Structure 1
């Protein structure tokens, strides 16, 4: 026990001496360390000041002195594994090797202290910025003068697993170092390993949405948010110019980064393809870098998407997936499971998954058998108030553009939209009119919905046409029943989830006709465009859905305020009215004095 008391007393004495030193004395210790090996014992003294509890000025001064000392000698130091294997007690060992092994141990201690300070809640932003710059300088030279991926991995791991948000640290890392191509490369590798580690720690291992819970779930959610921030802020290779694309933090990344013969063959193949054309060094480097980056980018994102994403992260991923991820994957079809599961969830998640799924179907040949049934199910009144409704309506218009779309399917979407026009705000009614306009123009076979006369011949023709379209599908039998002759009965089944069973071909667009008397003037004016014969394609044009998809009450009001009105209708009364509505406005109803009402007899 005596040696322990002696060590404790020595540590207490050292702490007291450290507290009594002034900032100028601390600078002197650093200058002596840099001047001669005779003052090498100043190195452990400077390390004692690198602590979250130390004054910020002392911490910064110590870091700057130690960085100036280690930067020149770091490439010549042995690796941590070799230093651990070296037997410093061996009498025959080289004194220089023993000295450098000791320096390596002190350097590893310094790095651990820097990472602790970087994620400490007591650390100030100015100190954290100095710490990050120092660590990245060591990353630049820590592997024998090349990029030290192990040190960089320890930094990212500490940031991700920290319970703090450390927003400043991540933003500094993104703004300062993610422009370097080798930093992005090793970031993808590190993120992939971290995601696999988090996935193994998560017992479920399934891609479900975290909705809160105990501390472990909260910690996992925090880590996933940080990984998402890192991945979403790495600029893709295709969005930067060639000079920026080959800008590297470590100069030996391309020539000695591990690609070897594979990169040499790729470069030779590129030179053969570009034979006879002017080719610069940047062109070859860009192709080489792109070849190495794409697999790492793909593995990092696919590992991340297998994690149990929080709901807000899930939505943000779906928003950027079609532009920021799919074009840069090695094989974008790998996302089909993730997107189809998202599309099957329903609601706003399905709306946001539609963009990525549509790209996979149109550009990469993905087959999704029940795509239109799921798209039909998304047409509910709440979709017209969703945040991402503009993109949804544009994609809906694109999905219904094909001339090979069956008539019953086009009719079902047209009728479903017209029924929704009775329950949506005016901005939604404008979008519906535009969509119906395009559907009627593209598919002349459904123009019978515009004006359907009641009669024996018409009913028989409608029944025959629907029987033909149903039997041609092969999934359902011939429609049963006889068309009811009763006036005013709509045979459309609005509650049906399958467009095939909606009976849309036996209905009409009477809902659109009611919009002629809509209380909002832009709606009543715009619906008049459907009076034109849309089957004459030479005299009509498609409506741009983007002009109406993001509308609201505010946009309609602004447009109405810009209009110049020549004549304004005025309403006046000779006598002051006693009620808001008169009885003539409600034919067939009688109103009692006590406020109750009853149905009038049928006339």
Structure 2
């Protein structure tokens, strides 16, 4: 029995030794194969390092290894991007688990680890901001932005009292504002985050205001301001109620969920941008979308008055667009601006009917003069001034003035005395016929309420009935006929060139609709 026991034991020992050797050889072989695969396959190597970090703190040094790989972009592009993405997953899990947060009663050894992790986390953020987000290639920038915004989300969800300004978002906005104007990363940020999420939009407004409040050199300020303007102009809709702000990037809502506060921060961002210096083209771009993209953001629209007044002083089409903005504030926001029509009247100069902006001007003028509550004296000044300009205007300009005057007479009947004024005193009538009379209209008066145009007559229109261009002469006769038509659609006359008027058929047809005026065709 002893021999059997000894033999059995001996056999077992030999079997176990053989098994250990086989296993040892197998493990050694596997390790070598795996190492070879890792050298050939960056993804496997990166995933292996990441899994080790998540398994045990003993492998936290792998974070430094991954950081080193992520910094090698340009020489080992694929491995660098894979390492950057892996680090994002690692830090996201550490943030969610609270492994980077200090608490009371922690041992010094724990605090040392947390400090080290925070240093690596800061190093990682700097890498994404300075190397990836500032890259010259759009795909790398996109990777950097996506990873940084993932960190913003993880931080805001992990911390109850999250301070957005101290997180990555502020630096993301700063980096974007310092990028070249044609850079595509600004568009991507706007489309994916700024326009999409109410909280991101809210804190971006805050970041813009803070950044533009910093000290800049003049050239640098204009550069950052231009990028800020480009970003803000991408917001083509304005929330009108809380129901319009239901999409949030994080769980940290607070002020960003309040519509009034939301618009107050938007107002501050816009004012900071507008006050940072704008060129003529930028002003025109802003004024072109003023009514629906900018003014609705302002809880205090009177804050825009200075900008609009300064824009008016630029001259040309910019002045006209500025008046359009002022009119919106007067009509929609009930703001008082007594000198509005005085400024509008001052735009009726010798170059108006020759201007390439003539059509735009008359469209807006038609809107500005649409109220039936305007004083007759004021309306008469505009009628008289345009009639005087028509004497020296091109035919294409005159054919706009005449139907516009017709419409004004229909809308403001009190002004028709200008075409029906007769002198009943025979002696005075004889004197006027022999010697003529002085026109009471003061062409040099800047205030349309003081020109005495209402006391004058429209002899200019009668003079146009003898215009050298037969089409203009025919059109001018509508003022002498009975006002049987309600009004004319000004759009039918706005875009005629000299050649179009020379061809004449459609132009006169739109104006008259009277058989007597079609005879000449």
Tell me, in whole angstroms, the C-alpha distance in 2 between the residues paired with 1:28 and 1:75: 25
Whole-Å separation in 2 of the counterparts to 1:563 and 1:452? 27
Q: Which digits, 9 at most, give the CA deviation of each residue in 1:324-354, with x for residues without a partner?
A: 1222321222322332343345433221111
Which residues in structure 2 correspond to 1:421-460 (within 5 Å)?
Answer: 421-450=390-419
**What secondary structure does 2:351 align onto?**
helix
Query: Structure 1 CA distance, aligned partners of 2:183 and 2:118?
Result: 31
Higher helix share: 2
Counterpart of 2:476 in structure 1 is 527
CA distance in 2, matches of 1:327, 1:433: 36
- Does structure 1 conserve the Cα–Cα contact (< 8 Å) formed by 2:386 and 2:401? yes
Q: Hey, what does 2:246 align to over in structure 1?
A: 246
Identify if the C-alpha distance between structure 1 residues 554 and 303 changes in structure 2 by more than 3 Å, giving closer, same or farther.
farther
Match of 2:48 among 9, 15, 32: 32
Is 1:75 the counterpart of 2:96 in the alignment?
A: yes
* Ranges in structure 1 where 5+ consecutive residues have no aligned partner: 1-20, 203-215, 260-287, 461-481, 570-603
1:305 corresponds in structure 2 to 274
The alignment's C-alpha RMSD in Å is 3.9
Pairing 1:395–2:361 present: no
Q: Is the 8 A contact 1:180 1:249 kept in 2?
A: yes
Deviation at 1:391, TM superposition (A): 4.6
- Map of 2:237 onto structure 1: 236
**What is the aligned partner in structure 1 of residue 178 from structure 2?**
161
**Conserved in 2, the CA contact under 8 Å of 1:319 and 1:352?**
yes
Q: Structure 1 CA distance, aligned partners of 2:168 and 2:76?
A: 26
Which residue of 2 is the match for residue 143 of structure 1?
A: 156
Q: C-alpha separation between the residues in 2 aligned to 1:487 and 1:544?
A: 37
Determine if the alignment matches structure 1 residue 542 to structure 2 residue 511.
Answer: no
Using a 3 Å threshold, how does the CA distance of structure 1 residues 327 and 23 change in structure 2: closer, same or farther? farther
TM-score (norm 2): 0.77
Please state whether the residue corresponding to 1:36 is helix, strand or coil: helix
Which residue in 1 is equivalent to 2:333? 364
Shift of residue 519 of structure 1? 6.1
Higher relative contact order (CA 8 A, sep 6+): 1
**CA deviation map 1:30-62 (0-9, x unaligned):** 112221134433322332342665453343222
Q: Tell me: CA distance 1:153–1:490, structure 2 relative to 1, closer, same or farther (3 Å).
A: same
Instruction: Tell me: CA distance 1:493–1:334, structure 2 relative to 1, closer, same or farther (3 Å).
Output: same
Whether contact under 8 Å (2:379, 2:415) holds in the other structure is yes
Name 1:59's counterpart in structure 2: 80
Alignment of 1:392-541 (within 5 A): 392-450=361-419, 486-487=435-436, 490-518=439-467, 523-534=472-483, 539-541=484-486
Conserved? CA contact 1:56–1:124, under 8 Å: no
> Contact 1:78–1:101 at 8 Å: present in 2 too?
no
C-alpha deviation, 1:384, in angstroms:
4.2
Distance in 2 of aligned mates of 1:23 and 1:552: 73
- Equivalent pair of 1:115/1:155 in contact (CA under 8 Å): yes
Structure 2 CA distance, aligned partners of 1:397 and 1:387?
Answer: 17
Q: Number of paired residues?
A: 467
* Preserved contact between residue 465 and residue 477 of structure 2 (Cα < 8 Å): yes
Question: Which deviates more from structure 2 when the two are superposed, residues 361-370 or residues 222-231?
Answer: 361-370
SS of equivalent to 1:167: coil
> Counterpart in 1 of 2:124?
110
For residues 459 and 107 of structure 1, the distance between their equivalents in structure 2, rounded to whole angstroms, comes to 96
Kindly tell me: are residues 549 and 218 of structure 1, through their superposed partners in 2, closer, same or farther at Cα, counting changes over 3 Å? farther
Aligned: 1:227 with 2:228: yes
In 1, the alpha carbon distance for the partners of 2:76 and 2:489 equals: 63
Cα distance between partner residues in 1 of 2:499 and 2:150: 53
TM-score (norm: length of structure 1): 0.67
- CA 1:459–1:169: 2 relative to 1, 3 Å: farther
Q: 1:68 to 1:316 in 2, by over 3 A?
A: same
